Amino acid sequence: MARVVERERKYSADEGFRLPDLTGCGGVATMSDATAFDLDAVYADTPDLRLARSGFALRRRTGGHDAGWHLKVGAAGGARTEYQFPAGADDLDPPAELVGLFRAASRGQAVEPAARITTHRVERRLLDAAGRVLAEVAEDTVDGRDLVTGERQAWREIEVELVDGDDRLLDAVQSRLREAGARPVPVSKSHRALAGRLAAVTDAAPTDPVAHYALAQRDVLIANHPGARHGDEDAVHDMRVAVRRLRATLRTFRGRWDRPRSEALRAELRWLGGQLGSVRDAQVMAARLTDAVRAEPADLVLGPVAARIAERFAADLATALDELVRTLDSDRYTELLAGLDRLLEAPAARAVDARWVARRVRRAVTRADDRLDRALDGTQEGDVALHEARKAYKAARYAVEVREPDAGQPAATLVERLKDLQDLLGTHHDSVVTREVLRRQALRAYADGENTFTYGLLHARQATAADRDLRAIPAARDRARRRKVRRWLKS
C-alpha cells in the first residue's frame, strides 16, 4: 500500500472557460502538451454517509496512472493523505488493510456503492527551467451520479496538484485561473455528487460552544485514526490530545449531558487514551533519552548506552503498537465512537447559556490554582501533587478554549499563559519519569556487567533540570494569574 500527501486546489469553470498560459507562475517555465484519458470511479460509503461526513473518501477507480483502491483523508482544497492499494479485476470489496484505516469514520459499519463519477481528463504538467515537474493541471469534464437516489449532475472542474512545487506556486496559479474566470471549489467530486443525500443525513449539530468544541475533538480523533494505526507520531499525539480534551470537557461541563452516559463514555475514553499513551510515551522517551546521550561528550558515554536504550524502547514500542492496532480494530472502540455520536449530537440535557458556561470555566481554573498552591506550599506530596496540578491546568486550559471563539484575544492570552505553566509542570514530571527509567536501565546494565556511569550522569542532569523547572513555576503561575489576563473570566 502506498501513502502520499496530496496538495491540490480545485476550481469550477463554465463552458466557455479556456485554460490560460501558466508560465511565469511560481517558477513555471513551460507547460507540457496535453494528455487525455478517462477515469471511472465508484465511491463507497455507509448508508448514512459517515465517511463523507468525516472527511474521508473511498473509491475504486479505473483508468489513469494510479488505478485501484484509494482512501483520501482530509478536506478538499488542502493537504490530504491518500492511501493507494491495487485492485484486481474482480475485486469489488475494499481490502482489509484499507477497511482498518476507515473503521473509525465508518463506525465499523460495512460500506456499499454510494456514487459513480466518470471523468474525461485533459492533463498538463507545469515544468521549471530544468524540466522538473512542479505541478499537474487537469481540466475535467465530470459526470456524477448518486447510486442510491439516481440523482445526476455534470460539471467542469480544474484541479491543480503539486508535485515538486510549493504553496507560492499554487497561489500564483490560482490568481491566473481566477482572472480567466475559474472559481475555487471547497468540496470534492464525491461530495458534489452526494450533495442531496448529505444534506438529508447531516443533522443540525448543537450550536452551544461546549458541544461545538466536543464535536470538533471527536472529528480530530477520527481524522487521526489512520495515521495512529500506523504509529505516526503526530497522529498518535493529536489523537491522544483529542481524547484528553473530550474527557476534560465531559467532566468540566458534565451537567450539559446525561450524566450516566457521559461518565460511561469518560471511562471508555480513558481506556482509549491509555492505549494511545503507551505508544506515545515510548516514542517520546526513546527520543528524549537518545537526544540526552547524544548531547554528552563521547568520553562520558561509557558502555553501549545508546544501543541499550534503542533496544529497550524498540521492543516497548512494537508491543504498544500491536496493542493499539488491536484496540482500533475492536468492537469496543467502534461502540465508543458510536456512543460519542449519540451523546454529542443529541440535544442538551439542560439549558446551556453563556453564564452557565462561564461559571464552569471559572471553576476549572480555580480548581487548578488550588491544586498548584497546595503542591507548592508543601501540604501535599511534591512530585505527585505537581503532576495532579498539571492535569488540572490541562483541563482548565481546555475549558478556556471552549470560550475562545466568543471571548477572542483575552481567552487566547489566558490559554497561552496556562499552556506555559502546564508545560513547565510537564517537563518537571517528565524529568521524574525519566529518572526512574534511567534508574531501571542502570540496574539492568549492572546486572549485565556493564558500566553504569553514564546512566548516573544522565540521572543527575535530569534532577538538575527538574530543580530549574521547579524554581520557574512560581513566576509562570504569577503571569497566568495577572488581573488583566483573567478579568474577562467574570463576564
Q: What is the pLDDT of residue 469?
A: 92
pLDDT digits (tens, 9 = 90+) for 132-180: 999 999 999 999 999 999 999 999 999 999 999 999 999 999 999 999 9
59: closest CA among 84, 78, 76, 35? 84
- CA–CA dist 84, 63 (Å, integer): 14
- CA–CA dist 394, 343 (Å, integer): 23
Q: Is pLDDT of 77 > 90?
A: no
Rg of the chain, C-alpha, whole Å: 27
What is the amino acid identity at position 242? A
pLDDT class for 76, splitting at 50, 70, 90? low
- CA–CA dist 99, 101 (Å, integer): 5
Instruction: With residue 342 as reference, give the H or E element that holds it.
Output: helix 331-344
Q: Tell me, rounded to whole angstroms, the distance of Cα 50 from its chain centroid.
A: 18
- Residues facing residue 11 across a β-bridge: 158, 184
Q: How many CA atoms lie within 13 A of 457 on its CB side?
A: 16
> 337 near 104, Cβ under 8 Å?
yes
pLDDT digits (tens, 9 = 90+) for 383-403: 899 999 999 999 999 999 999
pLDDT class for 89, splitting at 50, 70, 90? low
- CA–CA dist 484, 61 (Å, integer): 58
Q: What is the pLDDT of residue 75?
A: 73
Average pLDDT over residues 89-98: 83
Give percent of the chain above pLDDT 90: 86
- CA–CA dist 440, 308 (Å, integer): 12
Q: Is pLDDT of 202 > 80?
A: no
Q: Is 339 helix (H, G, I), strand (E, B) or coil?
A: helix
pLDDT digits (tens, 9 = 90+) for 236-245: 999 999 999 9
Between 74-78, 122-126, 227-231, the lowest mean confidence (pLDDT) is in 74-78
pTM value surpassing 0.75: yes
Q: Is the dihedral of CA 249, 251, 252, 258 positive or negative?
A: positive
